[in-house]
Structure 1
Amino acid sequence: MRPSRRGAGLVALAAATALVLSACGGGGGGGGTAGDVTGGAPPQAGNDINPVAYDQVRDGGDFFWAINSLPPQYNYNQLDGTERDNKNIIDSMIPEIMKADAKSVYQIDPNYLESAELTSTDPQVVTYKLNPKAVWYDGRPIDWTDFEAQWKALNGSNPAYVVSGTTGYDVIASVAQGATPQEVVVTYSSQYADWRSNFLPLYPRETNSDPNVFNEGWINGPLTSAGPFKLESVDNTAKRVTVVRNEKWWGPPAKLDRIVYVALAQAAQADAFANGSLSALDIGPSVATFQRAQQVADVDIRTASGPNYRHITFNGAPGSLLEDPKLRLAIMKGIDRNVITQSQVGPIVPSAKPLGNHLIVEGQEGYEDHSGVVAFDPEKAKSELDALGWTLQGDVRSKDGKQLALRDIIPTGTPVSEAEARIVQQQLGAIGVKVNIEAVPLDNFFEQFVYVGGFDITHFAWLGTASPISSSSGIYRLVEGTVAQNYGRIGNQKINDLLVQANAELDPVKQRALINQIDQELWNIGHSLLTYQRPDAFAVKNNVVNFGAKGFADYDYTMIGFTK
């Protein structure tokens, strides 16, 4: 299953109880034990990972991390590689030269970079100085040629590379060596504000120089490492990926001996955690999982505000049932997002309310709610459907002999999607819109249905990033002949132009104003119906440190471990 990234940048995530995709683009203390945790604790500002200093973390141990399925692709920059499960795996091995902090700001990782600076604004030039100790597993130093090869693979100039997105790379004019091979000079053809999100993650030139390796070389497993862990095995029978300490890692050694990523159906993960087979449990927006975790002894419930959010994607492709934006907007008015939000996450976060912005989530600067255009109003929805010629014929509306019946495609074994679909089915039934819920296999939900437009509506989550405009561009840009991550094929030239402007705007205040213009237009055309910001909630064995609800931050894989 895929979604994990946005844009070149968001990631769809197949999380413990809800599917999530990443977009492409690019703390606090621990919670209480099972006996003293109650529902309704507000999410912690920043993150909630039980931070412990490196020298206070026990040396050794195995960490068992649940994923929903083995990734179909371990190249995160390839179209099929953007699942969050894949990101959680490759982040232990593949360079993230910058990491987001708890305030959603990118900071350089000194294991990879000595510096990264905007050295000119006209033209825009960014100069990276690499840590000279940084090497790939074969011993070759990470150098400017890795940046050059990734730019050429992802800039859209060669269609043989099936990329998840081109945002940020398509505005680079050149990548060159500076004073040494470890100095990288990136010159842009136009201004690009989110330059920090480029080259995340960074793959070796050997992958990016050959379309066949790029598209197919990483299908069966990662080919190399330049991180604190390396691949030990991919067991397709046991459905496990195991990574172990990388003896060629030049940074602080990982505290864990190994991380074992265990593919389990979401419905089985809570029991596996309860019986000790997992070190942590992603609660996400699942009230049932939250309540189950509270019954487990010696467990912390860690929560934080995070960038992930649930939504309903509408298929507006030419020739589809929902091609007309007026029809999409009328149907959206028949869905009560408050009911969905409270039913799904209210017991975890009682103050939760529907999300109102497609690009910026609450907790990030610039957030504005523009969702009023689809405010719940079933009577207005009915009148608008009547005006469009969709009139009631019995219990279901019809037009020109065709029923207004929507295929709601959801993955099997995903309680959150099933619950949301049932609510939508009931609410839309009240305005004469029939919803047929079709559960399809989890393992190919994205590949065989979402990516190819095989739905009328569908539910999953987007995994946000610290660079919301560049990482979201692929979701909202409409380019003829290209899907990228705009799976509903909905957009217009106004949005395309505003995305270009926002990506080029170096003034953050002006950029946020452009982002909010984009969001208003997305609501106006009925691009997708946001439901709620997905709580970042984890149940964690209380001896686990530097792991849990990471919020907007990235994990430091060298620090994850157990108390001494």
Structure 2
Amino acid sequence: MRNLNRIGGAAAIAAALALTACGSGGSTGPETAKGQEAGSDLSKLISINEKPAADLEQGGKVTLPLGNIGPDFNGFSNNGNSADNSALQIPMNPVAMNSGGIGGCWKVDFVGKVTANPDFCESVDSEVKDGKQTITIKVNPKATYNDGTPIDVKAFQNTWNILKSPDNGYDIVSSGAYQFVESVEAGSSDKEVIVKTTQPVYPVDSLFFGLIHPAVNSPEVFNEGFNGNMHPEWMAGPFKLDQYDPAAKTVTMVPNDKWWGNKPVLANVTFRQLESSAQIAAFKNGEIDAVSANTITPYKQLEGTKDADIRRGQRLFAGGMNINAQKITDVAVRKAIFAAVDREALRKVRFNGLNWEEPSSGSMMLLPFSEYYQDNYPVKETGPDAAKKALTDAGYAPNANGIMEKDGKPAAFKISNFGDDPTTLAFTQTLQKQLQAGGMDVGIDQRASADFGKVIGGRDFDMSVSGYTVGPDATDAVKQYYDSKTNENQLGDAELDKKIADLASIEDNAERNKAAMEVEKEHMAKYFSMGVVMNGPQISFVRTGLANYGPSLFQSLSQVPDWTTLGWEKK
């Protein structure tokens, strides 16, 4: 599953790439200033100050910022599906995380290779016979939720029952491959799980990348029960919730004495909800230990900060134009939006001063360095005239104010912009002007960073400057974004839905991803709902001495590859 993410420079997600100028506090990692392409050395995109846990000070505290904390803490639901929510919960609840490098039965390395996570699933074996698949999972005997409930077949059954269909009343993001699961039963014990499918499912890790506690057993609990309540008793991880202060917007966690895996180095982790400008001040004052600086304003304000390293890599992000087709219902208007946008000009605004270049990306699902990537952007001729032609061809004509309208209804909407970063606002204003030049009446709906989850999850926007995290395989993303029964825009058709269902049974990775990319190409050309303006760098200012934190590619969207090894170098 892909997490929603805003474009603003303070989003606590994924990685970052490079500048030539560095703060006086020093720089670690690569001096990369360009997006990587297929076949490139991905180690250039990793910068974490890697140290063995045994070489670090035992104990200590780390404080990190988030753009928003809550109010819905269910990461499997549309309202809780945000990158910040994942970043917040991964230290406490990796058993349930469905993105971010670790989740349930699986863990991901830097380059995207997926293996079983022995903390929860000691082994996962798949066998296909007579066109049907049997998956055998051996669950760690010690794996137990904080409330004492064993992590066993009941958790797997509950996860399947909730996620297998969007028609059962659960506000799920996507049913993924769970629709192809026929049964989930106990094997020799409740700690051996036997999964049978109606057709082979690939990749196998598209199943049970995150488990849902058996107590979350009704649409009411799933949809409403996590509003303002994290339910730490239903979690399992190396840290546990110590305090959630909704008034102060802080979450504090400490080592979990019930955790059976590697013990964390740190004695305390605190997350604080802060707007972009407040994050900069807090880092300079020593109140937080890391901050993203993905636009020139925070970078220049942070440059020269004492006791700070700059760590750079690739941001796992795709987006810029997130269109709500339930509000902008006319496909001709959506096509005109795609045609009006000058993506190169927008990237120049976004990356101004960062010495960062990248080609126009044309996929929501894969980054250009993926061997499976292809450019699926649906409009080749762009500019104001191209946008007006798309509208004219659909029966629009300019009114007395020069706005294109049809049947007395103008092509009018607002762009939602989140946070107070000046570069992000300049990006939105430039986008606004491009759309206005294309004959559309476009305003800006300015929102606080803290409103992001509520606004996007509740579909309370026309068009948003936001996007999604990007994984190493397109199989899950193609269903989440383009299946008519699961995508939030409810756009698609039976022919595309069948292609999506069929591709999940293709074992060969290259062939399956090619099929997914072809679906995206066709969907984009028909429906025009999400457009990629950029991927971009992640530039992180990190307190000197903090080890195992920073741009981590696919191993961690929260920039922490392993929460048990995050800590401070010995002085």
TM-score (norm 1): 0.88
Aligned to 2:407: 400
- Aligned counterparts, 1:295-314, within 5 A: 295-314=304-323
Query: Structure 2 residue aligned with 1:13, among 5, 15, 22?
Result: 5
Q: 1:192 aligned to 2:201?
A: yes
Cα distance between partner residues in 2 of 1:32 and 1:560: 27
* Preserved contact between residue 123 and residue 139 of structure 2 (Cα < 8 Å): yes
Partner SS state of residue 356, structure 1: coil
In the alignment, what sits opposite 2:40?
A: none
Q: Distance in 2 between matches of 1:111 and 1:280?
A: 28
Which residue, 327, 333, 339 being the options, matches 1:327? 333
Instruction: Report if aligned partners of 1:305, 1:535 keep a CA contact under 8 Å in 2.
Output: yes
Distance in 1 (CA, whole Å) between partners of 2:90 and 2:118 is 16
Alignment deviations for residues 278-297 of structure 1 (CA, whole Å, 9 cap, x no partner): 111123x4222222232312
1:439 and 2:446 matched: yes
Q: Which residue of 1 aligns with 2:482?
A: 476
Q: 1:175 to 1:512 in 2, by over 3 A?
A: same
- Which of 23, 26, 40 is residue 34 of structure 1 equivalent to? 23
Alignment of 1:418 with 2:410, yes or no, is no
Which residue of 229, 247, 252 maps to 1:237? 247
Hey, what's the Cα distance between the residues in 2 that align with 1:34 and 1:62? 24
1:550 is matched with which residue: 549, 552, 565?
A: 552
Partner residue, 2:85 = 86
Q: 1:246 to 1:399 in 2, by over 3 A?
A: same
Cα separation, partners in 2 of 1:108 and 1:292, compared to 1, 3 Å: farther
Please give the alpha-carbon distance, in whole angstroms, between the structure 2 residues aligned to 1:346 and 1:337.
Answer: 14
The aligned amino acid for 2:362 is G
Give the CA deviation at 1:56. 1.2
Runs of 4+ residues over 4 Å off in structure 1: 18-22, 36-40, 414-417
Kept after mapping to 2: 8 A contact 1:345/1:352: no
- Letter paired with 1:522: H
- The answer as to whether partners of 1:33 and 1:542 remain within 8 angstroms in 2 is no
Extract unaligned runs of 5+ from structure 2: 36-42, 96-102
Classify 1:257/1:19 alpha carbon distance in 2 versus 1 (closer, same or farther; 3 Å): closer
Does the C-alpha gap of structure 1 residues 191 and 251 become closer, same or farther in structure 2, counting only changes over 3 Å? same
Counterpart CA distance in 1 for 2:352 and 2:494 is: 38
1:337: Cα distance to partner? 0.4
Counterpart for residue 238 of structure 2: 228
Q: Against the structure 1 CA distance between its residues 117 and 251, is the aligned structure 2 distance closer, same or farther, given a 3 Å change threshold? A: same
Question: 1:267-286 alignment to 2 at 5 Å?
Answer: 267-283=277-293, 285-286=294-295
Secondary structure of the structure 2 residue equivalent to 1:277: coil
Specify the alignment match of 2:517 in structure 1: 516
Contact 1:172 1:188 in 2 (8 A): yes
For residue 258 of structure 2, the aligned residue among 240, 248, 251 is 248
User: Partners in 1 of 2:124 and 2:160 — Cα distance?
Assistant: 17
Q: CA deviation at 1:444?
A: 3.7
Structure 1 letter corresponding to 2:494: Q
Distance 1:75 1:260, change over 3 A: same
Structure-to-structure mapping, 1:3-152, within 5 angstroms: 9-13=1-5, 17=9, 34-35=23-24, 41-42=33-34, 45-94=44-93, 95=95, 96=103, 97-120=105-128, 122-152=131-161
Q: Which residue is 2:505 aligned to?
A: 504
Corresponding position of 2:173: 164
Q: Measure the CA separation in 2 of the matches of 1:413 and 1:403.
A: 30
**Match of 1:342?**
348
Secondary structure at the aligned position of 1:398 is classed as: strand
Q: Partners of 2:142 and 2:167 in 1: how far apart?
A: 32
Which amino acid letter does the alignment assign opposite residue 420 of structure 1?
Answer: F
Distance in 1 (CA, whole Å) between partners of 2:412 and 2:425 is 18
SS at match of 2:555: coil
Instruction: Tell me how far apart the structure 2 counterparts of residues 367 and 471 of structure 1 sit (CA, whole Å).
Output: 13
Would the alpha carbon gap of residues 296 and 19 (structure 1) be closer, same or farther in structure 2, given more than 3 Å must change? closer
Choose which of 417, 421, 437 in structure 2 pairs with 1:430. Answer: 437
Aligned length: 540
Shift of 1:375: 4.4
Alpha-carbon displacement from aligned partner over 1:132-179 (angstroms, at most 9, x marks no partner)? 222222344321221111111221277243322211222111111122
Give, in whole Å, the separation in 2 of the partners of 1:327 and 1:158.
30
Aligned partners of 1:15, 1:313: CA distance in 2, in Å?
11
Shift of 1:472: 4.2
Asked whether the equivalents of residues 337 and 376 of structure 1 are also in contact (C-alpha less than 8 Å), the reply is no
Q: TM-score, normalised by structure 2?
A: 0.87
Shift in alpha-carbon separation, 1:16–1:328, aligned structure 2, 3 A? closer
Q: What is the CA deviation profile of residues 164-214 of structure 1, one whole-angstrom value per residue up to 9, with x for unaligned ones? A: 22112221111111223221111112222133032222232223x344433
Q: 1:387 to 1:14 in 2, by over 3 A?
A: closer
Give the 3-state SS of the residue equivalent to 1:170 in structure 2.
helix
**Contact 2:143 / 2:260 at 8 angstroms: preserved in 1?**
yes
1:128–1:60 Cα change, 3 Å: same
